[in-house]
Structure 1
């Protein structure tokens, strides 16, 4: 088994950036962690091919949490490749499937009421994008401590950014896929986008939880791969 970082160059809302979905290869089968923005399917497929794999090898998609830059292309993946199993936490699965109004949409609507006039249009556009997000059913619901991917990966509940956020710990690889529970910034692991954290205290506890795992490598969706050999943990 190995984890491959997929740097994806994106432009969204006039902002250019990189996101870093993770690809897990095991016994010739692939698992993708998070699917990028709504336009990212082709970009991710190209990155998979660039790493000498084929989309037909993709068996699972694990979603760390329900945010547009993580599930934007999920419906398109499922529509085009229906054999793929979608995996998410119990809490996040309700938002992904549309059973429950997402926390992020509620947050955006509340923020809109107090937003300065010069940001009102941006706020309306963001709310509209959230409402247009396509829903999709989750095939497997997971919980904290569950062992998945042939028991090689432990599901780690890391709430804060969202209430049902999960990260993934690979003990034998000494590696963690963090989602937005941690971002690689200034050569450190830090809380991702604090202004959008739904519960800052939980986010701090989750970051501490990931650091306590003392992994050698952390695959961060924002900021890219962090290794203890070239960065400072604290």
Structure 2
């Protein structure tokens, strides 16, 4: 088993940005963790091929949580690769499928009521982004402690950023894929966008939970790979 960091570079408001989806390689099968924004499918496909892997080997996609930068291209992947197996937490799956309104959209609409000027313009744009995400049914739901990928990966419930957020722990690799439970900021693991966490106390506990795993490597969606030097 191997984890490959995919660096997906893009521009936003004239500034260069980068997100880091993870690719899990196991027995010649590929599992992608999170799918970037809407229309990021070609960027992610290109990154996978650049690392020397065949897209025909892409078997699974795991979603850590419902945010537009994590599930934006999920529908496109399922459309292009219909046999792909989609995995998400039980709590998030109903939002991803469209059966339930997402927590993030509910939060954004509530915050908009108190916004004015440019801040309001951004809030309206963000709501539009969330509404542009197409819904897709999840094939397999997971929860805390579940073991997947032939026993090589343990699901860790890391709520706070969203209620159903999950991270992935790989004991044999001493590695964690954190989603937004932790980000690499100035070579430290910190909470992602604390101002947007749906439960900041839970987010703090989840950050400590992944740190307490004492992994050698943390694959952070924002900020990139963090190597533990302790």
Alignment partners' CA distance in 1, 2:94 and 2:11: 28
Give the superposition deviation at 1:166.
0.1
Alignment partners' CA distance in 2, 1:103 and 1:149: 28
Q: Could you give the per-residue CA deviations for residues 115-161 of structure 1, whole angstroms, max 9, x where no partner exists? A: 13231111111111211210000000001000000011000000000
Mapping of residues 119-134 of structure 1, within 5 Å: 119-134=119-134
Secondary structure of residue in 1 paired with 2:161 = coil
Alignment partners' CA distance in 2, 1:174 and 1:105: 35
The match for 1:73 is 73
Q: What are the ranges of 5 or more consecutive residues in structure 1 without an aligned counterpart? A: none
Give the superposition deviation at 1:222.
0.1
RMSD: 1.0
The match for 1:20 is 20
Give the superposition deviation at 1:13.
5.0
Alignment partners' CA distance in 2, 1:171 and 1:165: 20
TM-score normalised according to structure 2 size: 0.98
Is 1:186 aligned to 2:186, yes or no?
Answer: yes
Secondary structure of residue in 2 paired with 1:82 = coil
Q: Which runs of 4+ in 1 moved over 2 A?
A: 11-16
The match for 1:210 is 210
The match for 2:84 is 84
Is 1:146 aligned to 2:129, yes or no?
Answer: no
The match for 2:45 is 45
Alignment partners' CA distance in 2, 1:227 and 1:128: 36
The match for 2:157 is 157
Secondary structure of residue in 2 paired with 1:213 = coil
Alignment partners' CA distance in 1, 2:222 and 2:39: 18
Is 1:195 aligned to 2:195, yes or no?
Answer: yes
Q: 1:155 to 1:222 in 2, by over 3 A?
A: same
TM-score normalised according to structure 1 size: 0.96
The match for 2:93 is 93
The match for 1:4 is 4
Q: Give the total of aligned pairs.
A: 230
Secondary structure of residue in 2 paired with 1:214 = coil
Is 1:54 aligned to 2:70, yes or no?
Answer: no
Alignment partners' CA distance in 2, 1:108 and 1:72: 17
Alignment partners' CA distance in 2, 1:141 and 1:128: 27
Secondary structure of residue in 2 paired with 1:169 = strand
Secondary structure of residue in 2 paired with 1:25 = strand
The match for 2:171 is 171
Give the superposition deviation at 1:14.
4.6
Secondary structure of residue in 1 paired with 2:78 = helix
The match for 1:104 is 104
Give the superposition deviation at 1:15.
4.3
